[in-house]
């Protein structure tokens, strides 16, 4: 029997509509061979094919914008938002307009064209996370920015235009609505109960256990109760923290392990599907004119996390028209399948 489930964090409903006998193999699509290197701009030796790097991790004293790097961060050659210019907010009749100021960067995760994030060694994944943190901290200093979203598109169906393993970062002068919903839910819960809604949810999910995929001393991985997509997976730090950039060296190593473990489970179960992941962290707490206490509870009510979405179903007319998502597999079943992967 189908049911509607409500997500108290994202303030939206999902229709859970499991089909009789559906199994992970029913979501598997034919896997294409990786494209040849050709003149891939992200490959080592092709540094001149990208804009100059803004950050890199090198294990020797190799020169910037030359071979010898392990992770390399460059501005996107075709940015969604541009870093140059003045931030202007204005009204256009009843509408609002903000100049397209921001930062759009590409994190090239490895010099190896054929090595993907889920297949990398844990210490190499940690270098990617260190790069995320370094760029995040640097961009928060720009007073024009209010939010920094770090995300990865893996596979053409998930929006990746190049095969070479990479992720992206976009800094925006506004806070995206998907994050606003989480912030408002967190603020309301804390205002009423003086507790983090995410921490409450963590304790509840761990006690129920049926949607837990993996847990260690620092992180927990689970399938959300109102998962909008099949095999949607969330990674949360067990310790309350509102800001991803506050992760210390040990936490980044543990997160590298957990991220690899989770992506490998998805890869094995669903035959290496395309996926997206996003890091939802707290916005930059800029003072808001006339609202001095706007971010006052942010360190206590928000909880950063990673959301992973395998791209194995499509959003169609009903989803666009209603704002409801249809998930054809129970999250409890999805968690069970992923949990059983060794």
**What pLDDT is recorded for position 24?**
87
Residue 29's pLDDT band, with cuts at 50, 70 and 90, is confident
* 207-240 per-position pLDDT tens digit: 999 999 999 999 999 999 999 999 999 999 999 9
**What pLDDT is recorded for position 20?**
62
What is the pTM (predicted TM-score) of this model?
0.95
Kindly state the average pLDDT of the residues 181-200.
Answer: 97
pLDDT at 118 over 90: yes
Domain ranges of the chain: 3-17+37-340
Q: Which long-range contacts (CB under 8 A, 24 or more apart) does 33-42 make?
A: 34/114, 34/163, 35/163, 37/113, 40/113, 40/162, 40/163, 40/164, 41/77, 41/162, 42/106, 42/108, 42/113, 42/162, 42/164, 42/166
pLDDT at 113 over 90: yes
Kindly state the average pLDDT of the residues 265-274.
Answer: 96
**What pLDDT is recorded for position 249?**
97
pLDDT at 22 over 70: yes
**What pLDDT is recorded for position 41?**
96
| Three-class DSSP category at 4 | strand
- Specify whether 113 is catalytic: no
- Which fold, 3-17+37-340? HIT family, subunit A (3.30.428)
**What pLDDT is recorded for position 30?**
78
Active-site entry in 164, 166, 189, 303: 166
**Residue indicated by tokens 């896997």:** 31
């Amino acid at each position: 029997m189908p049911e509607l489930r409500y997500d108290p964090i994202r303030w939206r409903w999902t229709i859970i509509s499991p089909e009789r006998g559906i199994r992970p193999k029913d979501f598997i699509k034919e896997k294409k061979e990786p494209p040849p290197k050709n003149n891939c701009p992200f490959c080592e030796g092709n540094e001149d094919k990208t804009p100059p790097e803004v950050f890199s991790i090198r294990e020797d004293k190799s020169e910037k914008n030359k071979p010898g790097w392990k992770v390399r961060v460059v501005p996107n050659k075709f940015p969604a938002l541009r870093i140059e210019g003045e931030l202007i907010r204005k009204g256009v009749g009843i509408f609002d307009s903000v100049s397209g100021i921001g930062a759009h960067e590409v994190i090239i995760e490895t010099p190896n064209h054929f090595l993907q994030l889920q297949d990398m060694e844990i210490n190499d994944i940690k270098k990617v996370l260190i790069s995320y943190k370094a760029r995040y901290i640097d961009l928060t200093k720009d007073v024009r920015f209010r939010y920094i979203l770090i995300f990865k598109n893996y596979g053409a169906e998930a929006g990746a235009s190049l095969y070479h393993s990479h992720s992206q970062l976009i800094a925006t002068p506004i806070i995206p609505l998907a994050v606003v919903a989480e912030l408002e839910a967190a603020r309301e819960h804390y205002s009423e109960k003086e507790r983090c809604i995410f921490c409450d949810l963590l304790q509840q999910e761990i006690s129920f256990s049926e949607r837990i995929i993996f847990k260690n001393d620092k992180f927990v991985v689970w399938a959300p109760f109102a998962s909008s997509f099949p095999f949607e997976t969330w990674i949360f730090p067990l310790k309350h923290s509102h800001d991803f950039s506050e992760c210390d060296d040990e936490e980044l190593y543990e997160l590298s392990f957990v991220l690899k473990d989770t992506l490998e489970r998805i890869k094995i179960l669903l035959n290496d599907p395309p996926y997206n992941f996003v890091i939802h962290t707290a916005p930059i707490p800029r003072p808001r004119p006339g609202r001095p206490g706007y971010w006052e509870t942010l360190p206590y009510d928000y909880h950063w996390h990673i959301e992973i979405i395998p791209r194995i179903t499509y959003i169609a007319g009903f989803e666009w028209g209603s704002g409801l998502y249809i998930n054809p597999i129970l999250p409890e079943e999805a968690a069970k399948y992923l949990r059983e992967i060794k």
